[in-house]
Amino acid sequence: MSFSAPGSPPPSPASAPPAYGAPYQAGPAPYGYPSPPPAAEVLRSPRGLAVAVAVLLGVAALTAVLGSAADLYTWSLMQDVRADPLGVAQSTLEGADVLTSLAGRLQGLALLATGIVFVIWFHRVRVNGQIFNPGAFTRSSGWAIGAWFIPVGNFFLPYGIASQTWAASVQLGPDGSFRRFSTAPLTAWWVLWVLSRVLDAIATVLGRRAQNPEALATVSALDAFTGLTTLAAAVTGIVFVLKLTALQSVKAAQGPYAAV
């Protein structure tokens, strides 16, 4: 039995689906569907992956702070060089370059590890959403992975998938009415994430062209600001991941209708 359309009354007691006792148990789709989805997906808990993603996002946030600190140090040195070209030792400049490069590599590794685990979690919740409400999606679950690798498309396609997954994971009202659940965590995370990626791309291009202290100071300041936006994106990302995971856990345990 599929979910009722938003606004329709809940099923009568005689036709109500059996209680869904243990969340994320293996087997056919819950809530009395007559047949499982074509790929025979089953609900699987995203909680373990969510914790891993949250931890990795915390590490990414820490490396972003370290990167911003290194960039601000470089910016300060460039200001000194502009004021007195001979006032800063060459060894100091080389040390700042090594520090900045190391911080950038650490941040890159943290983002790579976070991205891999995040995409696995993202696909998991997307598959769960398909079981919760098959009619909520306009693209197959494979897009939860592929959308991230499409140039330009990766700036908006994953957000659409996340929005649909979020909506499918929210319980209906006790009377079967559609319930809105604030998508602020999702929207805030996505805006900050896209902003950080755009700023990072701009800083990379400017960094390749920088040949004097003025240009290097500008790039360092932009890199520092980019690190702060990455920090903000990581923090809001943790909130988004935990919120969506909680929504799915409640719906898996209690069924499609919220308690009175």
Q: What are the φ and ψ backbone dihedral angles of 257, each rounded to 5 degrees? A: -110, 130
- pTM for the model stands at 0.82
| Paired tokens of 87 | 């006032």
d(CA 107, CA 101): 10
Comparing 199 with 35, the larger pLDDT belongs to 199
Residue 40 has pLDDT above 70, yes or no: no
Mean pLDDT value of segment 203-208: 92
Look at residue 260 in the predicted model and tell me its pLDDT. 65
Are 244 and 189 a contacting pair, CB within 8 Å? no
Residue 23 has pLDDT above 90, yes or no: no
Look at residue 177 in the predicted model and tell me its pLDDT. 75
| Paired tokens of 217 | 């100071």
Q: What are the extents of the domains in the chain?
A: 47-254
**Percent of residues, the chain, with pLDDT higher than 70:** 84
Look at residue 53 in the predicted model and tell me its pLDDT. 98
Are 227 and 67 a contacting pair, CB within 8 Å? yes
| Paired tokens of 143 | 């897009």
Residue 18 has pLDDT above 60, yes or no: no
Look at residue 230 in the predicted model and tell me its pLDDT. 97
Average pLDDT over the chain, rounded to an integer: 86
